[in-house]
Amino acid sequence: MQMAARLFIPGPSDVDDTVLRELARPQLGHRTQEFRELFASLRPGLRKLFSTGNDVLISTSSGSGLWEAAIRSCVKSKVLHAVNGAFSKKWASLSKNCAKDMAALSFQDGKPVNPQAVDKALSERDYEAFCVVHNETSTGVISDLGALSQVMKKHPDVLFFVDAVSSLGGVKIEVDGLGIDICLASSQKALALPAGIALASISRRSYLKAEAVEGRGYYFDLLELKKAYDKDETPYTPSIPHLYALRKQLDRMEAEGLEFRYKRHEEMASWVRAWAKEQGFPMFSQEGCHSPTVSCISNTKGIDFAAVKKALAGRGITVDTGYRKLNEKLAAEEKPTTFRIAHMGERTPDEIRSYLAELQKQFQVKP
């Protein structure tokens, strides 16, 4: 059997063998007491991970499913989206496709969401919700949730929705302290779980708003999920193996210590940034707003990343050549394209240093 490649891409992430083994547990009925006990056992770890006393709902879907849950369940009409990259743009498009009156507040690629601009936009119109991607995976930019939280306090009637898909588990997010109404994430990035489930903390006022919204659908109806959650169940058949894996990973994260986990991610990110600077590659993301989980770097030396990817694949290493649509746009503008280095999940500082050394060999750049 061919050995699996080590993934240095921004999702999916490598999964620890002890977690993978949990996926092989025998199936059980999802309406049994054994399942309810499994489901209930996840609550303490999830609440600690999100720093919340709110419910943390689980969906057998990607994080995109919970984008739809937030919009369909909690927005009657008007919603404001901050757009500063590919994934925030996709979430905004989803709102439009759900027939909502969507407004996009756009920022340049590589730049964070500007709190003052958000404040101005929220002051000019009656929005029901504001949506932001905390960590824009396509450009390696992290926005300041603390500053945005202060803006949201000035607009108490607006729900605050945060996509933490590529930050939760690698960056501390204090949901209750920040006043986030819905904070959602996927399993396959910094949480280092197999792709296939998504998580979201839900505030009480989100549920109250949902009660007044019609056409919520079924699969992603937050009230249906809540009704089942209160009985330690899901409204539909979930991916039970993922729940076993989630429980094991929460235990592993607890053993590592969340604060140590966040420090490890920042240490890996710092190594990558220092290496990029040493080799003469500027960061694509704005200074002071570099992501702790994925670095986006300008390929100012015109390195042939297709060749690098092919060469390192032979060594069991999977390389990211940059977000395709962003690179196509940059190339059309005759600007340097980008490449990304993920440092999330189960990666270690030693692995990152080793990976950077392999890249240097391919670049034929002397350290």
Kindly report, residue by residue over 108-149, the tens digit of the pLDDT. 999 999 999 999 999 999 999 999 999 999 999 999 999 999
Instruction: Indicate if 191 and 296 belong to the same structural domain.
Output: no
Q: Which of 255, 274, 299 is the last residue of a domain?
A: 255
% of residues, the chain, pLDDT over 90:
95
- State the CATH number of the domain containing residue 346: 3.90.1150.10
Whether 104 is covered by a domain: the verdict is yes
Whether 1 is covered by a domain: the verdict is no
Predicted confidence band at 363 (pLDDT cuts at 50, 70, 90)?
confident
Whether 204 is covered by a domain: the verdict is yes
Instruction: Indicate if 224 and 328 belong to the same structural domain.
Output: no
Instruction: Give me the pLDDT at residue 1, please.
Output: 37
Average pLDDT on 96-116 reads 97
Instruction: Indicate if 355 and 235 belong to the same structural domain.
Output: no
Instruction: Indicate if 219 and 178 belong to the same structural domain.
Output: yes
Instruction: Indicate if 222 and 109 belong to the same structural domain.
Output: yes
In this model, does residue 153 exceed pLDDT 80? yes
pLDDT tens for each residue of 163-183: 999 999 999 999 999 999 999
Q: Which of 200, 225, 255 is the last residue of a domain?
A: 255
Domain count, the chain: 2
Predicted confidence band at 366 (pLDDT cuts at 50, 70, 90)?
very low
Instruction: Indicate if 155 and 110 belong to the same structural domain.
Output: yes
Instruction: Indicate if 308 and 238 belong to the same structural domain.
Output: no
In this model, does residue 240 exceed pLDDT 80? yes
Tracing tokens 């500082």 back to the chain, one arrives at 349
Instruction: Give me the pLDDT at residue 248, please.
Output: 98
In this model, does residue 341 exceed pLDDT 60? yes
Burial of 37 (0-12, 13-18, 19+ CB in 10 A): exposed
Average pLDDT on 318-337 reads 95
Q: What is the model's pTM?
A: 0.96
Q: Are 172 and 262 in contact (CB under 8 A)?
A: yes
DSSP assigned state of 28? -
CA angle 105, 108, 112 (to 5 degrees): 75
Q: Domain containing 102: what range? A: 17-255
Whether 352 is covered by a domain: the verdict is yes
Instruction: Indicate if 145 and 84 belong to the same structural domain.
Output: yes
Q: Is 297 helix (H, G, I), strand (E, B) or coil?
A: strand
Whether 242 is covered by a domain: the verdict is yes
Which has the minimum average pLDDT: 10-24, 305-319, 343-357? Answer: 305-319
Closest CA to 239 of 10, 44, 38, 15: 38
Average pLDDT on 306-312 reads 92
If phi > 0 it is left, if psi is from -120 to 50 it is alpha, else beta; for residue 140 that is: left
Q: Which of 235, 255, 275 is the last residue of a domain?
A: 255
- State the CATH number of the domain containing residue 96: 3.40.640.10
In this model, does residue 2 exceed pLDDT 60? no
Predicted confidence band at 3 (pLDDT cuts at 50, 70, 90)?
low
Closest CA to 95 of 110, 81, 115, 112: 81
Instruction: Indicate if 251 and 261 belong to the same structural domain.
Output: no
In this model, does residue 367 exceed pLDDT 80? no
Instruction: Give me the pLDDT at residue 61, please.
Output: 96
pLDDT tens for each residue of 49-95: 999 999 999 999 999 999 999 999 999 999 999 999 999 999 999 99
Instruction: Indicate if 135 and 219 belong to the same structural domain.
Output: yes
Whether 113 is covered by a domain: the verdict is yes
Instruction: Give me the pLDDT at residue 360, please.
Output: 87
Instruction: Give the span between the Cα atoms of 335 and 145, in whole angstroms.
Output: 30
Strands (E), the chain: 6-7, 55-59, 78-83, 101-106, 129-133, 135-136, 141-142, 159-163, 182-186, 198-202, 294-298, 317-318, 338-342
Q: Are 306 and 337 in contact (CB under 8 A)?
A: no
pLDDT tens for each residue of 249-285: 999 999 999 999 999 999 999 999 999 999 999 999 9
Instruction: Indicate if 292 and 181 belong to the same structural domain.
Output: no
Instruction: Give the span between the Cα atoms of 292 and 272, in whole angstroms.
Output: 10
Q: Are 84 and 107 in contact (CB under 8 A)?
A: yes
Whether 112 is covered by a domain: the verdict is yes
When the pLDDT of each residue in the chain is averaged and rounded to a whole number, the result is 95
Instruction: Indicate if 112 and 232 belong to the same structural domain.
Output: yes
Q: Which amino acid is at 165?
A: V
- The number of angstroms, rounded, from the C-alpha of 47 to the middle of its chain's C-alpha atoms is 17
Whether 203 is covered by a domain: the verdict is yes
